Structures are given as C-alpha cells and as structure tokens.
Amino acid sequence: MLLRVRNITKRFGGLVAVDDVSFDVPAGHIKAIIGPNGAGKSTLFNLISGFYPSTSGSLRFEDADITHMPMHTIARRGIARTFQTTSLFKHQTVLDNAMMGYRMHAESTLFDALLRTPRARREEAETREAAFEALNFAGIEPLAARIAGSIPQEAQKRLAIAIAVAAKPKLILLDEPVAGVTSEETLEHAALIRHMAREGYTICLVEHKMSLVMGLADSIVVLHHGKKIAEGTPGEVSADPAVIEAYLGAATHA
C-alpha cells in the first residue's frame, strides 16, 4: 500500500475539521475525496502533505511513518501537491516554476554554484530537462519563457500540475484541479489527469465536480462534517443512501 491514512483527526479549537478518517491509497490508483463544502477535504490534504500537523492519528507512506514530518521532508519522500487556489511562483518564468518542481533532486550547494562545479552544471542541465519534460507533459511547453503570473488561468492550473509532475513523485495530491475552469476545459483537465494515471502516477484528488470524479476515480472517499461516511467505487458510492442524503441530496435541493 502506498499511503495508509489511519484515524487521522484535526481540531481547530472547538471545531473538528477532520474526524477519525481512515483509508488506503494503493499504488497506481486514482482516489477521489469528495464531500460538500466544509467537509474537511482540503484539510485532509493539508494533513497528508504536512502543511498542518494532525491532532491525532497516523500517516504511513511506503511503510514509513510520516505523521510528524515537516512538509518539505514529505515532499522529498515523493508526495507532490497542488493547492486549491492555484499556487505558483508568480513572478518567475514558467520554466523556472517547473524547475523548482524537480529542484529537490539536485544536491549542489552554494559552493557548487559559486565554483561552477561539474555537479552544479550537471544538475542544472538535468533540472532544466526534467522541467521541459513536465511542461511538455502538461501541454504548456510553448509558454516556457513567459512569466507565470501572466499566462491564462487554465494554463496556470496546468503549470501547477507540471510543477508537481516535475518532482517525479510517487503520489500526487490534486486539490480541486478544475475549480473555476469552464466545462470544456474541465474535459481537457480530466484527460490530463487520466494521462498522468496512465504514466503510472498515483493520484489523490479533492473535487467538487461530481461528473469529473465519477468518470475518473477508481475509488472514492466521501467526507461529511469531517467524517468518512462512505468509500467505494463510483457506482457503489453514488448508490449509497448516506451519500445521497449528505451530498447528492443536498446538491439537488441547492
């Protein structure tokens, strides 16, 4: 099992944002986390990636305990993530953004940089190559020289994915990858995510758009008020009365 989430809980003061949630992500799967607004989906991601410390429970990644590791260490172990509000290095070029994704694999120090050692040169070339590969993967290579903050919104979302892919991670966490894009672009993004899965990436995504999730995920975890209320294939989950009550039902009334 690639990722094991066990009884993970996060309290913010009196509010229990994530309440005793457990699930597994097997390698090669697309796992979706769904639930109504405020269900604790993004908080759950923030716990897995180490952005917040958890109140209790445990996280195991490749059979190592990552529960109390800082975010950058978890990233180096192979968990890449995107943020809900597209998060980029806005003032840097698209290429520099993607290079930062691969950056963790380079070990050259300040002295390597100052002395232009073979290691520094090799790692810079390697990083550049990995960055172009990732940009190509995300279909935005022609934008490489542009400043990230100046490219269209949809391309920015692709760049966020390119940064994650450039890291060559074992698990990618996508936090609402299609929030705020048109339905046509949603289809293209779904194709990109499927492409990632075909390339062997294990993906865990938080998503609001049911249509995207149903056609994409191997299995789904449903959260409601921070608790897991269902887990299963898209078919099983959409037939589950508790889910219909909490999520689909609510959506029909809305």
Tell me, letter by letter, the H, E, C secondary structure of 77-146.
HCEEECCCCCCCCCCCEHHHHHHHHHHHHCCCCHHHHHHCCHHHHHHHHHHHHHHHHHHHHCCCHHHCCC
- Near other proteins by CB under 8 A: residue from 30, 99, 161, 212: 99
Query: Which sign, positive or negative, has the C-alpha torsion 101, 165, 23, 37?
Result: positive
Residues 75-94 binding other proteins (CB under 8 A) are: 75-76, 80-81, 83, 87-92
Contacts of 182 (CB under 8 A, 6+ apart): none
Residues 100-129 binding other proteins (CB under 8 A) are: 100-101, 103-104, 106, 108-110, 112-114, 116, 120, 123-124, 127
Residues 4-23 binding other proteins (CB under 8 A) are: none
Query: ∠ at Cα 73 (126, 47), nearest 5°?
Result: 125
Minimum CB distance to other proteins smaller for 169 or for 234: 169
Minimum CB distance to other proteins smaller for 88 or for 243: 88
Helix (H) or strand (E) holding 164: helix 153-166
Residues 161-220 binding other proteins (CB under 8 A) are: 163, 167
Which residues lie near other proteins (CB under 8 A)?
49, 51, 70-73, 75-76, 80-81, 83, 87-92, 96, 99-101, 103-104, 106, 108-110, 112-114, 116, 120, 123-124, 127, 163, 167
